[in-house]
Amino acid sequence: MKTTTQRSTTVARLSTGLARFGRRVADVIAECNYAQRRLTMLMISTDAYLIDRDKAPGDYAEFLARTSGALLREPAAGRRADGQLVG
């Protein structure tokens, strides 16, 4: 028979393992969410469909058309160093 201390240790190990697994699952879901949002932004970007996208816009109207999509908000340099994703 197991003592109460052995049982509580077993339960603690199980709960720690489940918590660690839950965090990993949450991290995978967060990464998938980020990738899906990023892909959507790239797909709806008008720059992706331009022939000469490396060249500057010819006039102000073309400039406005290129920047009409939602812009990505980049984190500050300190936060980027911490590994925060662009979003």
% the chain with pLDDT above 70: 74
- List pLDDT tens digits, range 26-59: 999 999 999 998 888 878 777 767 777 678 888 8
Nearest to 49 by CA among 34, 35, 65: 65
Which amino acid, 33?
N
The whole-angstrom separation of Cα 84 and Cα 30 is 12
pTM, full prediction: 0.53
Boundaries of every domain in the chain:
4-71
